[in-house]
Amino acid sequence: MVKTIIAEWLFVIGQVGLIIVLIIFGLILRKLLRLIRKPPLFWILLVLSSLFMLVAVVFHFLSITEVGSVEDPVDLMRSLGASGIIEAIMLLASGLFAVIASGMYFRWSHR
């Protein structure tokens, strides 16, 4: 049980680190877009990506804490299923926003 908790905490810490990196990358990208005279508005996609990832991490953390607090296994499976779906949707949206923003910058910077 202790190894599982350590692995979950490492996952959460890694995700928070990635969120911080995405926010910093978005701010750097905003400055670079000003240099190449392109609309700097899509850097917000990277910030949205990090916010969606933050919501996914919160749902993942809530699912960790629910495991010890729910006594009925059926209720536990229902709650984990709902939070797992929300977590997966948030991670998918986060990835899509990051890919779209990176693709747009790549296309604009190579013209």
Ordered by start, the domain boundaries in the chain are 2-109
What pLDDT is recorded for position 77? 55
Please tell me which residue, 1 or 111, carries the higher pLDDT value: 111
Q: Which pLDDT band holds residue 25 (cuts at 50, 70, 90)? A: confident
In this structure, the dihedral spanned by the alpha carbons of residues 36, 37, 40 and 43, taken in order and rounded to 10 degrees, is: -10
Residue 56 near residue 95, CB atoms below 8 Å: no
Contacts of residue 87, Cβ cutoff 8 Å, sequence gap at least 6: 56, 59, 60, 63
The predicted-structure confidence for 28-83, as pLDDT tens digits, reads as follows 878 887 887 777 677 788 888 888 888 888 887 777 665 555 565 555 555 666 67
Q: What is the largest distance, in Å, between two alpha-carbon atoms of the chain?
A: 59
CA distance 82 to 94: 18
